[in-house]
Chains A and B, each alone.
Chain A
Amino acid sequence: MKFKLASASIALYAGFVLIALAAPAVLPAYPLFVFSLAVVNIIAVLGVNVTMGYAGQISLGHAGFAAIGAYTTALLMAHGDWAFWTALPAGGLLAGVFGYLLGLPALRLGPLYVSMVTFGFGFVVVLILQNWYELANGPNGMAVAPPQLFGNDLTPHQFHYFVVVVAVALFVVTRNLINSRVGRAFVALRESEVAARAMGVNVAATKTLAFGLGAAYAGIAGGLFAGLTQFINPDSFVFGVSISYVTMAILGGSGFFAGPIVGGLTLTVLPELLRGAAEYKELLTGFVLLMLLIFLPRGLVGLLWDRFSVRPDVIREVKSIKTDAIDKSVRPDSSRELLRVTDVSLSFGGLAALKNVSLEVNEGEIVSIIGPNGAGKTSLFNTISGLYSPNKGAIEVAGQPVMGYRAHQRARMGISRTFQNLELFQDMTALDNVLVGAHGQITNSPIESAFRLPGERRREAEQRSRALELLEFVGLLHYAEERAGSLSFGHQRLLEIARALASRPKLLMLDEPAAGLNSTEVGALADIIRLVRTRYGASVLLIAHTMNLVMALSDRVIVLHHGVKIADGTPASIQKDAAVIDAYLGEVSNA
């Protein structure tokens, strides 16, 4: 089976657009209306796909955003004398603002609350529209004047073309965004929020952007719906409509680019063919949704993707990479202090995880932290990287206090890490994982990405070749386009190191990188950690239980026990330290 997926899918999209544009010539009035409606729904579902499919934020209120778009467009035309063409983007914008605001409570809350907040929002919008007679006649709805161009009303044919053009434009913009820094941050958020933060992704900004963007698309769909039907009432935006959007997104394939097209088209046209009463359609939607969730959660496009997708060949691309890439910009000066932790204490409830811990790491130094389970090693990492805030104490990196900064800001200040229990972005490729690591290194704004401006392309290309270089460094180049979740355990550990290095860290914290590796793999890991210092100039803070690795690699070893630092010295001195042997080493050498 040797065909190029990329060109095949471009051909499919082009074919669909051609069919959509040819439709007015062949279809009678009502089928054409249904087709236009399907394209409008596809736009709304594209919004759901951004919020829920890519960014992983549940939304049960997209019909509410569509209502805001529709009513804003209609009211601006009726009372403000705006033209449809200016009222439509205004409606999309207002819906986007509401989405952004609704994203704010989602920042600190889990899917439980987010689902209820979005549901409640959609419910309240309909309730207000039904009861506010002065605004737009309450439940009776309002007529919308036909959109005009040069003083003439648009025919349904012309309006259909317009809807298709809008849809194509939004899909192109979305595709650009999804393949850029922003889109990777969306998916990273979905796959592991904690890792996204540690890699420098501003989770707050990313979540609100995902909500705002998804809502704006729904708002535009609502405005187009108003222009298409020329009549709107609250019934067109009830909860059931939000569920339909979600069902369309999942039927097509949540998080797949073509998903909204397949899902939106199928679930708009199919019920029309059945011609049943509204309640039968709702029953069908509910049933289809439940069956999809149980039996086909990746949707139709996901099914095809898993079957036929072909990994692009990146090996050829790599030939052009200069492999001597020693980073000359960072030359460690081992006499200069890089990290200083002063008197840090951390407790959960009444349980103290860290008690007055102080330590220093110099530039280019490899320092290991050892200690029995529950000694506070990972808590220390979480405190340094900003995932936990300590009860007291101070942390400085290169002389700069970092306490006031959040995790993603600290990542950009040069602190990077891996995770004990592997927090890879499972459903992204190895290459994209590393590119998320470079999130703070790329400065492209969403606008630049949406329109693929020249500077954006250049910076993306630079980071891409650097990411490939890092994959080569850890020996995973051949797996660049594989799903991270499909890699072997050892490879996943190495991939986390490559991802952590992509942010050009001054301090690399490795949380049990050797856990679960066999002895050959541990040997390779030791080489890589040594090279991290010479090649990338980073200091390494290492948590490990494998004493051979610790003693062979470390310039210095720090021992934690019950949250207290009980020793700090050269590997040789630690091995002789009575307190350490008593608390920890004794057990290990007997084992």
Chain B
Amino acid sequence: MDLFWQILVSGGMLGSLYALVGLGFVLIYRSTRVVNFSQGEMLMLGAILALYFYQDLKLPYGLAFVGSCVTVGLLGAFLERVAFRPLQRAPVITLILATVAVGQMIRSAVRIVRGSEVSHFPPLFPTTPFTVGGVTLTALTVGTVILSIFLVGALVLFIRYTRIGRGMEAAAQNRDAATLSGVSINQTFLLTWAVSSALAAAAGILIAPLIVITPDMGIIGLKGFIGAILGGFLTIPGAIAGCFLLGIIENLAGYYISGAMKDVVSFGLLLLILIACPQGLFGRQEARRA
């Protein structure tokens, strides 16, 4: 039984990181109707930049963290301006492909600069295990989860209670009405891309000590997407719940089936959910109009 709890707890930890990156997908989708295939690359870039600031420039961890998030956020805003804004009126397919193209460019550019070098992010908190109620934890995992939950919470408050956040929400619900009420759509989209890119970077930095840093680590970002779909892509609480659920399911699958097939399970789950109940487990159906 202890083992089951162990799997559950570490699955939840994974889930909190998925939630962080998953929310980035949800934010961009809600306001721009685009699924951002470069979100994973933003995550990867965040981890690599933070590593560079922390290890090579010897900045303190907090500064490296914030510096990396800000840089990646600015990159997101820049990409919105040069690549996605010109395509605002293009078909959705075109925009999705544009994010695919951007992701590929970032991935290959990193590979050119760094090679396929595998790096480890030095753990921020001690990794000596301790046991609580039969479940083994480390300060690293606990600290990571607390930080990511804190960030998710901060984001939700930001959307609910700040002017910019409410503008994002308004643009998500009705673009025309938002414009008429004085919300600048261009500015809102710019911010949306910036915030969700920074969010991905934060997820990347937090997750980096638990896995290894490679140019392909962005694939983990897509787990956030799957989790969000699982829970219900259109609602923020649904998406968060789905990400936690996915983390737990993956860990169960990793233990009871096979570690290598963990990713197969999560994508299989994605297909299943999309066929059986596309609005997600905790979500609501998108209103349909003819």
Contacts and interface: CB of A to CB of B under 8 A. Distances in A.
A446 interface: no
A105 B267 CA distance: 14
Nearest to A288: B101
Contact of A115 (B96, B108, B264, B268): B96
Given A105-B271, A123-B267, A388-B290, A280 B112 contact: yes
Nearest to B103: A286
Nearest to A120: B267
Contacts of B93: 52, 56, 58, 111, 115
A121 B272 CA distance: 12
B87 interface: yes
Contact of B278 (A109, A240, A247, A388): A109
Contacts of A119: 37, 222
- The B contact surface, by secondary structure, is helix
B35 A290 contact: no
B94 interface: yes
B33 A112 contact: yes
B289 to A, nearest CB: 9
Interface in A281-299: 282-283, 285-287, 289-290, 293-294, 297
Contacts of B86: 294
A246 B97 contact: yes
A414 to B, nearest CB: 21
Contact of B104 (A280, A282, A382): A282
Contacts of B108: 279-280, 282-283, 286
Nearest to B233: A112
Contacts of A128: 264
B181 to A, nearest CB: 22
A204 to B, nearest CB: 13
Contact of A279 (B29, B103, B111, B260): B111
B105 A116 contact: no
B171 interface: no
B178 interface: no
B124 interface: no
Interface in B87-101: 87, 90, 92-94, 96-98, 100-101
B261 interface: yes
B287 interface: yes
B266 to A, nearest CB: 9
A398 interface: no
Contacts of A124: 263-264, 267-268
A243 B37 CA distance: 12
A293 B270 contact: no
A58 B97 contact: yes
Given A58-B93, A111-B93, A286-B108, A294 B290 contact: no
Interface string B162-200: 000000000000000000000000000000000000000
B135 interface: no
Contacts of A388: 290
B83 interface: yes
A567 interface: no
A250 B97 contact: yes
Contacts of A23: none
A113 interface: yes
B156 to A, nearest CB: 22
A121 B267 CA distance: 8
B211 interface: no
B222 to A, nearest CB: 8
A110 interface: yes
A556 B226 CA distance: 55
A297 B94 contact: yes
Given A104-B275, A131-B260, A294-B87, A117 B109 contact: no
A108 interface: yes
Contacts of A247: 101
Interface string A122-162: 01100110010000000000000000000000000000000
A290 B105 contact: yes
A194 interface: yes
A435 B264 CA distance: 44
Contacts of B225: 116
Q: Which of B94, B97, B267, B275 has the most CB of A within 10 A?
A: B97
Contact of A289 (B87, B101, B261, B264): B101
Contact of A290 (B96, B102, B229): B102
A394 B182 CA distance: 46
A290 B98 contact: yes
B91 to A, nearest CB: 8
Nearest to B83: A290
Contact of B105 (A287, A348, A387): A287
A220 interface: no
A116 B92 contact: no
Given A112-B233, A286-B103, A388-B290, 4 more contacts: A58-B97, A105-B275, A116-B226, A297-B90
26 contacts: A52-B93, A56-B93, A60-B37, A104-B275, A105-B271, A108-B278, A112-B29, A112-B96, A116-B35, A116-B229, A120-B222, A124-B263, A124-B268, A194-B290, A277-B112, A283-B105, A283-B109, A283-B112, A286-B102, A289-B97, A289-B104, A290-B105, A293-B87, A293-B98, A294-B87, A297-B90
6 tightest CB-CB pairs across the interface, nearest first?
A286-B104, A286-B105, A282-B108, A289-B101, A290-B101, A283-B108
